[in-house]
């Protein structure tokens, strides 16, 4: 069995990703504020930019997180749950090659992920800001340890690598719960009272 990344030319993989910069941006950050601009900026928060024309096409930067990189780094963050391509370059190169149709293997090529869907307001007007006791209990029942999850990658980009064993975790997508980010997953923090009962989330 071929090892991840073996036999793949990094330059060729990068070049094959460039025509799909728009797909990768929208899959990671949603629709751009102005699709005709030389530089795309995410519509929701406006903190992520990506060059779409010229030699810098595919270079992106998250101004809120203070991190960015090229399209391989974007694949690392969105498909491999890594902070950068160099964290596990062979694995990222393999994932990027699959996306560009240059590699195949035991796992079928899934193509580019679909763009993030626009969040629709709840029918009852709730925006997920207020959690009742049942919601808190459901969240804590499904939350996972942060290590090895997108939550850990998010914290690492901000220089936080010493993750406490309690009080912080990763909540996978929970479309059945009335939460603001229920379709994407979220980093969850909670406080414990003196009797070790949960007091705030």
Tens digits of per-residue pLDDT, 109-167? Answer: 444 445 545 555 444 444 445 567 777 777 778 888 877 777 777 777 677 777 777 77
Is 0.85 surpassed by the pTM of this model? no
Distance CA 13, CA 72 (A): 9
Confidence category of residue 55, pLDDT binned at 50, 70, 90: very high
How much is the pLDDT for 3?
A: 58
Tens digits of per-residue pLDDT, 170-201? Answer: 888 877 777 766 677 778 887 655 554 544 44
Choose the most confident range, by mean pLDDT, from 47-51, 79-83, 132-136, 178-182.
47-51
Confidence category of residue 105, pLDDT binned at 50, 70, 90: low
How many secondary structure helices (H) and strands (E) does the chain include? 6, 9
Q: Identify the CA nearest to 148 among candidates 163, 166, 128.
A: 163
Domain ranges of the chain: 10-99, 133-200
How much is the pLDDT for 120?
A: 52
Q: Classify residue 4 by burial, with Cβ atoms within 10 Å: 0-12, 13-18, 19+.
A: middle
Distance CA 163, CA 168 (A): 8
How much is the pLDDT for 193?
A: 55
Distance CA 169, CA 167 (A): 7
| More reliable by pLDDT, 18 or 183 | 18
Burial code of 131-168, b = ≥16 C-beta within 10 A, e = fewer? beeebeebbeeebeebeebbbbbbbbbeeeeeeeeeeb
Confidence category of residue 90, pLDDT binned at 50, 70, 90: very high
How much is the pLDDT for 103?
A: 66
- Go through the chain and tell me how many residues it has: 201
How much is the pLDDT for 162?
A: 79
Q: Identify the CA nearest to 119 among candidates 130, 108, 107, 127.
A: 127
How much is the pLDDT for 93?
A: 92
């Amino acid at each position: 069995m071929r090892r991840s990344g073996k036999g793949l030319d990094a330059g060729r993989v990068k070049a094959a990703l460039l025509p799909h910069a728009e797909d990768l941006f929208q899959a990671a950050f949603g629709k751009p504020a102005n699709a005709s601009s030389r530089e795309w900026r995410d519509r929701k928060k406006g903190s992520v930019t990506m060059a779409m024309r010229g030699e810098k096409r595919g270079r992106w930067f998250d101004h809120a997180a203070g991190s960015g990189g090229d399209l391989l780094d974007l694949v690392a963050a969105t498909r491999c749950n890594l902070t950068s391509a160099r964290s596990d370059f062979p694995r990222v190169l393999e994932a990027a090659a699959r996306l560009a149709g240059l590699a195949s293997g035991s796992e079928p090529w899934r193509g580019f992920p679909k763009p993030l869907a626009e969040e629709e307001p709840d029918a009852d007007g709730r925006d997920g800001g207020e959690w009742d006791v049942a919601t808190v209990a459901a969240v804590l029942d499904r939350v996972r340890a942060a290590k090895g999850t997108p939550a850990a990658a998010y914290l690492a980009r901000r220089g936080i690598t010493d993750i406490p064993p309690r009080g912080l975790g990763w909540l996978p997508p929970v479309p059945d719960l009335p939460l603001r980010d229920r379709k994407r997953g979220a980093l969850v923090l909670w406080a414990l009272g003196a009797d070790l009962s949960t007091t705030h989330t």
